[in-house]
Structure 1
Amino acid sequence: MTTMKQSPTASDAGSSATASFRAGSAAAFGEAQTSTERVNTVVRAVLDAVHAVIRDHQVTYPEFQAAKRWLMDLGEGGEWPLFLDVFVEHVVEEVAARSQQGTPGTILGPYYLPDQKRLPAVAALPARPDEPGSTWVLSGQVRDVDGNPVAGAELDVWQNSADGFYSGFAPHLPDGNLRGVIVTGDDGRFEITTILPVPYQVPTDGPTGELIAAAGWHPWRPAHLHLLVRASEHRTITTQLYFSGGRYVDDDVAHATKAELILDPEKLPDGTYRSEYDFVLERD
């Protein structure tokens, strides 16, 4: 089993994730462009599915009360973003992908933070002077579906440090560490120098971890690089890049890996790793 020092508490991570989510563009039911009929249909379907599970598995009152307490704890602990992003979002993304072209997407996850430092097409992600980890260079090009380079495309990138933590969610990391927005040149090309990400476990000291332990699951995600790839008049891609042969690539707790997003980095004589990956954007 991969090891690392104890992560920041689930409550701390949940509070940061909740604040970040609320600061974004998510709308409430009354503000979303969703009809009453659509809300009625989807919510009734969810409730019908829950009712069917209770009947089919003969859920007892003690089990129901335990689930009720757990749901209350999940909300009070601020872990709804964590739980939904890990266990539900991958299916929403799967449905969205059916009508999309270009580079495959995957989940956003709970650790995105907007408004990071803008960087040129060839740049290193902001890092501590003694940032531990193996140096990794990711290069490629952003193109449209017709093969034309997309100038001025933005690659909003974030990843964990060598001890498995994300800046903004762990007090020992400086703000903006291993985060940045790379802007492509006229040829749509980019080159990002950073470190190889590592597998990490979702916070387990709160209700999400309680459920994982009770169900006998593991809490680990494979090493990955997060990206939002966007450009004017193009659909933004939310995606992640993974690594061939990495631990948990075939057993991701969030079920977010896709074969098209797995890299096989080349190790150079100086110990640096290099990968190439091109992103394809479709028009809005």
Structure 2
Amino acid sequence: MTTTDHHIEFPPSAAGSGNAATMSFQERQKVTAQADPARVDLLATAVLTAVHDIVRRHEVSYAEYDALKAWMIQVGEDGEWPLFLDVWVEHAVEEVANAAREGSKGSIEGPYYVPGAPSLGAEGALPMREDEQGTPLLFHGLVRNVGGDPLPGATVDIWHADNDGYYAQFAPGIPEWNLRGVFITGPDGSFSIRTIQPAPYQIPTDGSCGALIRAAGWHAWRPAHLHLKVSAPGHLPVTTQLYFAGGEHVNSDIAQATKPELILSPVAVDSGAEVRYDFVLDPQ
């Protein structure tokens, strides 16, 4: 990730970003349903059995075990468990959770969602700085049901990184709701959003997740993407990400969250770029 001096006074750290993500997640999880002991037993036993199998099959040494233990402790100290789980685990959970959907494909939420973004009507511009960098993007479309009927009053909650790969509320020097907003579809189910096209970015690499990436010889890049939560009364909400055709890392996303159905193909216009994408919601 690069840093533009007039955007950010100093680079955000993995620990700073990770702790913010941890606090945001914990705030949203204050009220939780009681776990079913039978499911806890089933899943915990399955995870531990898989770990035991890996240890035996690959003859894990005590030095490797101690390195893993130290790394896991450091992940907690860095506040990076949300980042680790969202990057390397969430895509599989999302696939299972949405396997039966007929409508729009889902994708991972990631660690940087914040509820309560400003409500901006059926059309408008996301909050942004006067000198916001990036190609202007007009993103518009419809929200409809699986039968093709438009859904007026549907909610389109959108957020994304800036041109330097940073998210508001998870990096210093960025206004609180920068590039975050909620749109409510009009009578015809339409929405129209003016924003900027985000850039690819690296996940934070100066903490524990970065140590794993370097040790394994992986890359740390996510392709440019828009995050969205789309919902309407009487319908199943969908959380997804939309990517850009031909963009870097679309075929090698570290989070393994891209899908062919989620690729946008913007067209160039005088003001920058324009793209349409319609969302289809399943009935509850």
TM bin, normalised by shorter chain, reads: over 0.9
Which ranges of structure 1 fall in alignment gaps of 5 or more residues? none
Distance 2:261 2:141 in 1: 15
Deviation at 1:100, TM superposition (A): 2.1
Moved over 2 A (4+): 25-28
2:59 alignment partner, SS class: coil
Q: Which amino acid aligns with 2:173?
A: H
Q: Residues 88-111 of structure 1: CA distance to partner in whole angstroms, max 9, x if unpaired?
A: 000000111212221000000001
User: CA-atom RMSD, angstroms?
Assistant: 1.2
1:205 alignment partner, SS class: coil
- Aligned pair count? 278
Distance 2:265 2:119 in 1: 27
Distance 1:242 1:171 in 2: 25
Deviation at 1:186, TM superposition (A): 1.0
2:28 alignment partner, SS class: coil
Distance 1:272 1:204 in 2: 32
Deviation at 1:181, TM superposition (A): 0.2
Alignment match, 2:6: none
Alignment match, 1:100: 101
Q: Residues 29-68 of structure 1: CA distance to partner in whole angstroms, max 9, x if unpaired?
A: xx33x42111111110000000000001110000000000
Specify which of 25, 28, 33 is matched with residue 21 of structure 1. Answer: 25
Distance 2:272 2:164 in 1: 19
Alignment match, 2:173: 172
How do residues 66-145 of structure 1 correspond to structure 2 at under 5 angstroms?
66-145=67-146
- Whether 2:194 is the aligned partner of 1:190: answer no
Distance 1:23 1:283 in 2: 29
TM-score (norm 1): 0.95
Distance 2:218 2:268 in 1: 33
Distance 1:179 1:42 in 2: 36
1:137 alignment partner, SS class: strand
Q: Residues 231-256 of structure 1: CA distance to partner in whole angstroms, max 9, x if unpaired?
A: 11211100011000000000000000
1:13 alignment partner, SS class: helix
- Whether 2:2 is the aligned partner of 1:4: answer yes
1:169 alignment partner, SS class: coil
TM-score (norm 2): 0.95
Alignment match, 1:278: 278
User: Matched residues, percent identical?
Assistant: 51
Q: Which amino acid aligns with 1:203?
A: P
Q: Which amino acid aligns with 2:190?
A: R
2:48 alignment partner, SS class: helix
Q: Which amino acid aligns with 1:35?
A: D
